[in-house]
């Protein structure tokens, strides 16, 4: 069968956006890179993705600021995921695409499973190498697949929040299906488009996320390769993701749950149109709230300098005049400025004397709320924009 061809028609235009993970020093303001962020749709394959993609070297560089291991909730998530996927690890190796700082490689090690990481951002790859993990610091290519296969048989390929980053997605799936062969499985989890549409969580849309997955799209790409999604489950890690299990059609029969989720994916174009309208409404209401608080003289800050928050602040035009600073626990982000809007980022120790905190890390709300007793007891309130802008 012919491999699929994807052609995206522009649907939602967000205007100029900076690179969401490129935290800046003042000296870097003048050279900041912006691109037109436009979400597109291909009716033939149901692909939803960025019409203008950013060259990977602008995003995954040697000062990449996202370290998975900095969040305790993420450590727990990866440990639980490794335990759950253990039956798929079989007798072969596990390959983790986008192994970041080795948070999950560590979990596999503890479980006694040989795991190889593939991680193109050299600085985060170095962190996991220094912890003794086997890491190939490159993008996934046919050559890298060969290199892995020369080291042994692969039972499981896993990728969390990485597959949606890969512009050459069909070629990427070709590499992975070669790695797993007829027996192995590929399990991946990424933001699920139906969640974005339902929650108006448009802040999931940023430079690194080239694709917004549906089962319909993944199956369209896999079908000509002889593979399909045979299982799936919904997870809440990053505010609504679908974990999909891919295997060869002859060896992995489809579980009924896949059909149940597929049934929710009717009328994707209608959902995109609704999302477009809801994003505009969300911006208007959020700005009303923040402008009102400013008029009342309230002290507002941002909580968690996330990539998602970069989209909200830049799309809505929320600079330091509305949110004077953002707190974050990640040392490499502290002392830097938020992309595009140039809001200063300060350590979480400076999270005090604040009336309202905007949850840029809204997906970690439970963990955050539980750790910020003092803030709430002092009368502090959270602001969120998901699913609609409001004060909690
Ligand atoms: P993520 O949503 O992409 O996982 O990013 C979480 C970001 O939020 C990361 O920069 C760390 C930051 N953060 C805090 O500053 N305080 C917190 O309590 C939590 C949970 C996250």
In angstroms, what is the span from residue 292 Cα to ligand 1's centroid?
27
The atom of ligand 1 lying closest to the CA of 303 is 15
The atom of ligand 1 lying closest to the CA of 68 is 4
pLDDT for the residue 2? 77
Please determine, for residue 60, whether its predicted confidence score (pLDDT) is greater than 80: no
Please determine, for residue 58, whether its predicted confidence score (pLDDT) is greater than 90: no
Q: Which of 27-31, 121-125, 187-191, 214-218 has the lowest mean pLDDT?
A: 121-125
In angstroms, what is the span from residue 212 Cα to ligand 1's centroid?
22
In angstroms, what is the span from residue 367 Cα to ligand 1's centroid?
10
Mean pLDDT, range 104-124, rounded to an integer: 94
The CA–CA distances, whole Å, from 40 to 9, 291, 355 equal: 5, 32, 39
> Is the beta carbon of 75 within 6 A of some atom in ligand 1?
no
Token pair listed for 317: 């035009």
The atom of ligand 1 lying closest to the CA of 73 is 20
Closest CA to 133 of 153, 117, 156: 117
Position 67 confidence tier, pLDDT thresholds 50, 70, 90: low
Tell me the three state secondary structure of residue 173.
helix
CA distance 381 to 392: 6
Tens-place pLDDT, residues 336-390: 999 999 999 999 999 999 999 999 999 999 989 999 999 999 999 999 999 999 9
> Is the beta carbon of 348 within 6 A of some atom in ligand 1?
yes
> How much of the chain exceeds pLDDT 90, in percent?
88
Query: Contact at 8 Å (CB) between 74 and 361?
Result: no
Please determine, for residue 66, whether its predicted confidence score (pLDDT) is greater than 90: no
pTM: 0.93
The atom of ligand 1 lying closest to the CA of 371 is 18
Query: Contact at 8 Å (CB) between 174 and 225?
Result: yes
Tens-place pLDDT, residues 148-167: 999 999 999 999 999 999 99
Query: Contact at 8 Å (CB) between 102 and 131?
Result: yes
pLDDT for the residue 54? 87
CA atoms within 13 A on the CB side of 170: 14
pLDDT for the residue 68? 65
Token pair listed for 361: 């890390």
Non-local CB neighbours of 220 within 8 Å, separated by 6+ positions: 4, 44, 45, 46, 47
CA distance 25 to 172: 34
Q: Which helix (H) or strand (E) holds 97?
A: strand 93-97
> Is the beta carbon of 167 within 6 A of some atom in ligand 1?
no
Mean pLDDT, range 186-211, rounded to an integer: 97
> Is the beta carbon of 68 within 6 A of some atom in ligand 1?
no
> Is the beta carbon of 328 within 6 A of some atom in ligand 1?
yes
The atom of ligand 1 lying closest to the CA of 333 is 10
Position 64 confidence tier, pLDDT thresholds 50, 70, 90: low
Token pair listed for 272: 């995109």
pLDDT for the residue 233? 98
CA distance 252 to 137: 31
Please determine, for residue 267, whether its predicted confidence score (pLDDT) is greater than 90: yes
In angstroms, what is the span from residue 361 Cα to ligand 1's centroid?
6
């Amino acid at each position: 069968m012919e491999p699929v061809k994807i052609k995206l028609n522009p649907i939602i235009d967000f205007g100029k956006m900076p690179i969401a993970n490129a935290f800046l020093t003042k000296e870097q303001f003048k050279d900041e890179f912006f691109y037109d962020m436009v979400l597109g749709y291909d009716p033939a394959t149901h692909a939803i993705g960025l019409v203008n993609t950013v060259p990977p070297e602008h995003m995954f560089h040697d000062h990449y600021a996202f370290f998975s291991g900095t969040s305790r909730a993420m450590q727990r998530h990866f440990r639980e995921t490794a335990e759950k996927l253990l039956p798929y690890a079989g007798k072969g190796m596990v390959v983790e695409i986008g192994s970041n700082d080795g948070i999950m490689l560590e979990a596999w090690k503890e479980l006694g499973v040989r795991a190889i990481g593939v991680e193109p951002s050299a600085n985060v790859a170095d962190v996991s190498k220094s912890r003794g993990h086997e890491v190939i610091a490159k993008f996934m290519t046919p050559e890298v697949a060969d290199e892995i296969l020369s080291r042994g048989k692969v039972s499981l390929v896993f990728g969390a929040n990485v597959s949606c980053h890969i512009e050459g997605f069909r070629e990427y799936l070709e590499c992975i299906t070669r790695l797993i062969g007829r027996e192995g499985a590929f399990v991946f989890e990424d933001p699920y488009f139906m969640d974005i549409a339902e929650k108006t969580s448009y802040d999931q849309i940023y430079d690194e996320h080239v694709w917004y997955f549906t089962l319909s799209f993944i199956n369209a790409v896999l079908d000509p390769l002889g593979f399909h999604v045979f299982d799936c489950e919904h997870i809440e890690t990053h505010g609504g993701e679908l974990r999909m299990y891919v295997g060869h059609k002859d060896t992995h029969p489809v579980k009924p749950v896949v059909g149940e989720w597929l049934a929710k994916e009717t009328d994707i174009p209608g959902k995109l149109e609704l999302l477009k309208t809801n994003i505009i409404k969300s911006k208007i209401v959020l700005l009303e709230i923040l402008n009102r608080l400013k008029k009342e003289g309230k002290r507002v800050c941002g909580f968690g300098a996330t990539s998602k928050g970069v989209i909200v602040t830049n799309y809505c035009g929320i600079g330091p005049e509305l949110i004077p600073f953002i707190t974050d626990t990640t040392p490499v982000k502290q002392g830097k400025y938020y992309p595009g809007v140039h809001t200063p980022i300060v350590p979480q120790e400076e999270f005090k004397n604040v009336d309202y905190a905007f949850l840029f890390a809204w997906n970690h709300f439970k963990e955050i709320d539980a750790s910020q007793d003092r803030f709430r007891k002092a009368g502090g309130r959270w602001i969120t924009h998901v699913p609609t802008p409001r004060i909690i």
